[in-house]
Amino acid sequence: MSTVILLAVTGVGLGAIYFLVACGLSLIYGLMGVLNFAHGVFLSLGAFLGLEVAQLLGASTWTGFAVSLLVGALAGAVFAAATERILVQRLYNRHIEQVLVTVGLGLAAVALFDGIWGTDPRFPRGPSWLGETTGVAGASIPNVVFIAIVSAAAVLASIVLFLKHTRYGMIIRAGVENRSMVTALGIDVRTAFTLVFTIGGAAAGIGGVLASHHFGYVSPMLGQTLLIFAFIVTVIGGLGSLIGAAVASVLVALLQQFANFYLWGTGDFAVVVLLALVLLTRPSGLMGRKA
């Protein structure tokens, strides 16, 4: 029983990290129809800068950890906003080219990180509490899992509040629903484009700092590895659906954890099979709108 609880809670923790990457992807796709292949490098940049800042301020203090989360979010947000303004916006409405540009940026940025921080993984240190475990019904859960879950829940809640209760949130929701109508009403959707990139980048940056503690390392490839699972999550959840992404993240991560433990390490395959099944039965994903 304690094994099941351990797997379930760590699964939700992994799902939290997937969600932090996938929510940005899903929002960006929903509003702009762009599949952002550079999303993983927002995460890696957040993780690396967070690590550097934490080392400057003392890695084992809570201040250092909190500031590293903040810096990670900022780094992701700034990088993402710059990407949107400089590269993506110039290719307005040319979706394939927009995807290609993000692919190129992903390649170039990973290579640049290789050059700056080296290809070998680096190991972040955090407050000692993060490395300890807490007993839940007989299972000892690593504390970093709780931080991941709480942060992802906070990010989800703030994005939902932002979308529901602010003017720009309304524009974004309306844009996802029907972009040409919003444009026809005289609203400049481009600000909304930059905004979703910024929000997605910030979430990915936070995800980067948390992922570095969760997996225990940072490497230039970390982001792109997580990105593939985030893609799967967004497709299963339904492209453009935030809640769908949240549900699918947890589902995918749980499936992965349980299959890895009970089905001889076949977690990654189970996820691909789930993807195939979802696509065959519901091509638009669990919560996506009918195409």
Partner 1 sequence: MTAMNTRGTEQVVQDKVAAMRHAARPPEGGPGASGLRSRLPGLVVPVGLVVLLACLPLLDLSLPGVLPGATYTPGTLHLLALAMVMAGAALSYHLLFGVAGLLSFGHALYFGLGAYGLGIVMEGLGLGLVPAAVLVLVVGLVMATLLGAVSLQVTGIPFAMVTLAFAQAGFVLVRKNPGKLTGGEEGLRLPTDYVPDWLVGVADTRNLYWVALAALVLAFAVVTWVQRSRAGHVAEAVRENELRVQVLGMRPFLVKLAIFVAASVIASGMGMVHLLLNSGAVPHTLSAEFTISLLLMVVLGGVGSRWGAVAGAFVYVVLSQRLAVLAQSSAIDDLPAVLRIPLSEPMFILGTIFILVVMFLPGGLAALGLRVRALFSRRAAAPPEDRSGTPGALVQEDDQQR
CB of 199 to partner 1, least distance (A): 20
Residue (40 or 126) nearer to partner 1, CB: 40
The CB-of-34 to partner 1 minimum distance in angstroms stands at 9
Nearest-approach distance from CB 47 to partner 1, in angstroms: 19
Helix H or strand E segment including 192: helix 189-215
Closer to partner 1 by Cβ: residue 91 or 187: 91
Of 104 and 138, which CB lies nearer to partner 1 in the complex structure? Answer: 104
Closest approach, Cβ 143 to partner 1, in A, equals 29
Q: Angle, to 10 degrees, between the axis of helix 189-215 and the axis of helix 167-177?
A: 100
Closer to partner 1 by Cβ: residue 1 or 116: 116
Site for partner 1, rule CB under 8 A:
29, 33, 35, 87, 90-91, 93-97, 99-101, 103-112, 114-116, 224, 228, 231-232, 234-235, 239, 265, 268-269, 271-272, 275-276, 279-280, 283
**Burial class of residue 128, CB neighbours in 10 A (0-12, 13-18, 19+):** exposed
* Distance of alpha carbon 66 from alpha carbon 74, whole angstroms: 12
> How far is C-alpha 115 from the geometric centre of its chain's CA atoms?
24
Helix (H, G, I), strand (E, B) or coil at 48: helix
Question: Which of 79, 231 has the CB closer to partner 1?
Answer: 231
Count the alpha carbons within 13 Å of 149 in the hemisphere toward its beta carbon.
Answer: 14
**Nearest to partner 1 of 87, 243 (CB atom):** 87
Smallest gap from Cβ 104 to partner 1, in A, equals: 4
> 149: helix, coil or strand?
helix
| Alpha-carbon torsion, ordered 197, 198, 203, 204, to 10 deg | 60
Q: What gap in Å lies between CA 156 and CA 165, rounded to an integer?
A: 14
6/182 with CB nearer partner 1: 182
| Total residue count of the chain as it appears in this document | 291
How many angstroms separate the CA atoms of 44 and 222, rounded?
A: 6
Instruction: Using the minimum distance from each CB to partner 1, give the nearer residue, 139 or 233.
Output: 233
Find the shortest distance in angstroms from Cβ 106 to partner 1.
Answer: 8
User: Which residues does residue 134 pair with via DSSP β-bridges, in sequence order?
Assistant: 141
DSSP per-residue codes, 91-105? GTT-HHHHHHHHHHH
Distance CA 232, CA 228 (A): 6
Q: How far is the CB of 259 from partner 1 (least distance, A)?
A: 12
The distance of closest approach from Cβ of residue 95 to partner 1 in the complex, given in angstroms and rounded to an integer, is: 8
Task: Tell me how far apart the alpha carbons of residues 135 and 131 are, in angstroms, rounded to a whole number.
Answer: 13
